[in-house]
Amino acid sequence: MNGFLASLWAEILKIRKSAILWVTLGVSLFAVIMLGFMMFILKDPDFARKYGLIGTKAAILGGQADWPSYYTMLIQITGVLGLLVYGFIASWIFGREYSDHTIKDLLALPVSRSTIVLSKIAAMTLWCAVISSLIFPIWLLEGYLLVLPGWDPSVLGSWISGYALASPMLILLGVPVAFVASFGRGYLAPLGYVILTIALSQVFAILGHGEFVPWAIPLFALASANPGQAQLGAASYVIYTVTVAAGFLGTLAWWRYADQK
């Protein structure tokens, strides 16, 4: 346990001292603020015409200036942003050790390599959880300030539940990214993987098979929080769990057994 805490402390220090902390936080907050801005534009058609491109984009994403559309926007933004930002964070936490050549300092220590991996995943989860826990309240506050129509307090609980389920699911999809970063020994491979997973999640969600694609399953969980929507089935949970578990076991095995050249 001491080894884990020592390693977790080290990981948090590395995160705190990096520019990536502020970049990922900034991108996430910017995205959620933009959601409110798009709703603001949709509420005012004259303003939307004046800012033609943004107005069109807002109309494509949300359609109408009301709470259900605003939640739909949250689903879409969270789906892409979650995979991108959380995937980027996982790439950085694991890939930087290879890019900075510091990996070798973590391989022959009194703290086991498995403990190092666990502490990295814990640090990744903590960091992503902070970002995730900021997004929803800001989204809610913006909607409240915009006085959007269609507010239904009975749905809010369902949305919160959906977000509370989807966020950790999105965060833990960073674990397979950790494996790709370790296997690829750097940033490039995991970033390519993240872009591929975003594309797959969007394509399969549009095709209506999102519940069977691990990277679209959290989006499905968010969408199913809306009244009358289909719920996630056991198959989705199994597919998702197998994906994350494979990433986790793969990362542990790679650190423990692969040649660290």
Partner 1 sequence: MNEIIQTSKATKHFGAIRAVEAVDISVRKGEIYGFIGLNGAGKTTTIRMILGMIRPTSGDVYLKGRKVDAGATDLWKITGYLVEAPYAYPDLTVFENLEIARRLRGLESRTSVERIMEKLAITQYRDRKARNLSQGNGQRLGIAKALIHDPEILILDEPANGLDPAGIAEIRELLKDLALNKGVTIFLSSHILGEISKFATRIGIIHEGALLQEVDAGELDSLLRRRLLVRTEETARARSSLETWGYETSLNENGEIEILGEEALSRSASIVTELVKAGLPPVMVKPEEEDLETYFLRVIGSNGGAA
Binding site for partner 1 (CB under 8 A): 2-3, 6-7, 9-10, 13-14, 17-19, 100-102, 104-113, 256-257, 259-261
Q: Which is nearer to partner 1, 106 or 165 (CB)?
A: 106
User: Nearest approach, Cβ of 11 to partner 1 (angstroms)?
Assistant: 9
Using the minimum distance from each CB to partner 1, give the nearer residue, 59 or 106.
106
Q: How far is the CB of 135 from partner 1 (least distance, A)?
A: 26
Q: DSSP state, 209?
A: -
Give me the least distance between CB of 254 and partner 1, in Å please: 11
Q: What is the C-alpha to C-alpha distance for residues 21 and 33, in angstroms, rounded to an integer?
A: 18
Burial of 243-254, coded b for 16+ CB within 10 Å and e otherwise, reads bbeebbebbbeb
Closer residue to partner 1 (CB): 10 or 155: 10
Q: Which residues contact 173 (CB under 8 A, 6 or more apart)?
A: 82, 83, 86, 87, 197, 214, 215, 218, 243, 244
CB of 127 to partner 1, least distance (A): 15
Q: What is the C-alpha separation between 124 and 88, in angstroms, rounded?
A: 10
Which is nearer to partner 1, 2 or 154 (by Cβ)?
Answer: 2
- Shorter beta-carbon distance to partner 1: residue 54 or 253: 253
What are the distances in angstroms from CA 129 to CA 80, 167, 232? 16, 8, 22
Least separation in angstroms between CB 158 and partner 1: 42
